[in-house]
């Protein structure tokens, strides 16, 4: 069964000099998406555990920490200690994904796996029942403001079908180029959790945009049932 729609605004699009203000501007968010980049797995360098801890002090929404790093096992505990509620790691970067997922869960957080646009969903078949979330990248990771890769609609549907076939029900999160123009189609394909950065923070009223995105997605989920 598909979960209800959740919106996870990305602070990659926030004004880091005014982070507390910009977190307040998204106070209605279901999750707060924090992209951790190490400058190696991606061509960008972003947030450390100090930013996660700062968000934890001022946010009530769960922190959705996406680790775009080459060696997640070396630093996961930093982010768990800082207050991450959900940690997703790239299957492409994890040498022993099952062990990594088990460790996150043992620490009391939810655990998920991430796939880049060119990575097939079948890679996760044997671990799907252990996952709380699968994050599908609908842009190539590293920078905000990119356009949604159109081929990802079919990929989302393939992942939803695979989950049903193996009896797993993780959240399916999609990150990259999500906006009010395409969120309904993304939800109809099988996603239920949506990362939105530019679409939220470029809106005149970010909280109103979160509500609109959530409604569009939820209506599409219900229509597809």
Distance, CA of 45 to CA of 205 (rounded, Å): 28
d(CA 103, CA 148): 32
Query: Please, how many CA atoms are within 13 Å of residue 130, restricted to the half-sphere of its CB?
Result: 16
What CA–CA distance (Å, rounded) separates 213 from 209? 6
Task: Note down the domain range covering 160.
Answer: 6-224
Catalytic residue among 22, 38, 175, 192: 175
In a domain, 156, yes or no: yes
| Per-residue pLDDT tens over the stretch 27-63 | 999 999 999 999 889 888 899 999 999 999 999 999 9
- Residue 160 in any domain: the answer is yes
pLDDT score of 144: 66
Rounded-to-integer distance, Cα 106 and Cα 171, Å: 19
The model's pLDDT over 89-133, given as tens digits with 9 standing for 90+, comes to 999 999 999 999 999 999 999 999 999 999 999 999 999 999 999
Looking at per-residue pLDDT, the higher value among 44 and 210 belongs to 210
Whole-number pLDDT of residue 198:
92
Residues of the chain by 3-state class (helix, strand, coil), percent to 5:
40, 20, 40
pLDDT of residue 147: 86
Length of the chain: 225
Average pLDDT, the chain: 95
Give the least confident one: 23-32, 139-148, 187-196, 207-216: 139-148
Number of domains in the chain: 1
Exactly one of 35, 64, 85, 192 is catalytic; which is it?
A: 35
Residues 58-90 have pLDDT tens digits of 999 999 999 999 999 999 999 999 999 999 999
User: Which one, of 207, 209, 186, lies nearest residue 61 by Cα?
Assistant: 207
pLDDT value for 43? 80
Q: Is residue 89 part of a domain?
A: yes
Question: Does some domain include residue 45?
Answer: yes
CA distances from 174 to 21, 74, 182 (A): 26, 25, 12
pLDDT score of 159 more than 90: yes
Q: What percent of the chain has pLDDT over 70?
A: 98
Q: Please tell me the predicted confidence (pLDDT) of residue 133.
A: 98
Question: The tokens of 106 are what?
Answer: 């043992």
Nearest C-alpha neighbor of 53 from the set 15, 81, 25: 81
Dist. CA 34–CA 10, nearest whole Å: 6
Identify whether 57 is part of a domain: yes
Q: Is 175 a catalytic residue?
A: yes
The answer to whether residue 35 is catalytic is: yes
Please report the pLDDT score of residue 44 as a whole number. 85
Residue 1 lies in a domain: no
Q: What is the pTM of this model?
A: 0.95
The yes-or-no verdict on residue 1 having pLDDT over 70 is no
Q: In sequence order, what E strands does the chain have?
A: 6-9, 32-37, 63-68, 86-90, 110-115, 133-137, 171-175, 193-196
Higher confidence at residue 3 or residue 2?
3
Q: What is the CATH number of the domain that holds 40?
A: 3.20.20.70
- pLDDT surpasses 80 at 2: no
The two beta strands, 6-9 and 193-196, are parallel
Max Cα distance, the chain (Å): 46
């Amino acid at each position: 069964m598909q979960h209800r729609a959740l919106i996870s605004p990305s602070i990659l699009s926030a004004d880091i000099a005014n982070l507390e203000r910009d977190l307040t501007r998204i106070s209605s968010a279901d999750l707060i998406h924090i992209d951790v980049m190490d400058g190696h797995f991606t061509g960008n360098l972003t947030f450390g555990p100090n930013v996660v801890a700062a968000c934890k002090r001022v946010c009530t929404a769960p922190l959705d920490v996406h680790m775009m790093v080459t060696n997640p096992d070396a630093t996961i505990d930093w982010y768990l200690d800082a207050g991450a509620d959900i940690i997703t790691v790239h299957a492409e970067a994890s040498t022993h994904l099952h062990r990594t997922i088990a460790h996150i869960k043992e620490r009391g957080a939810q655990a998920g796996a991430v796939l880049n646009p060119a990575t097939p969903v079948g890679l996760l078949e044997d671990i799907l029942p252990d996952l709380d979330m699968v994050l599908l990248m609908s842009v190539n990771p590293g920078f905000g403001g990119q356009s949604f890769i159109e081929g990802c609609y079919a990929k989302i549907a393939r992942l939803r079908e695979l989950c049903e076939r193996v009896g797993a029900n993780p959240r399916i999160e999609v990150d990259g180029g999500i906006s009010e123009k395409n969120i309904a189609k993304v939800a109809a394909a099988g996603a239920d959790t949506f990362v939105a950065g530019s679409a939220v923070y470029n809106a005149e009223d970010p909280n109103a945009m979160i509500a609109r995105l959530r409604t569009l997605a939820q209506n599409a989920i219900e229509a597809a049932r």
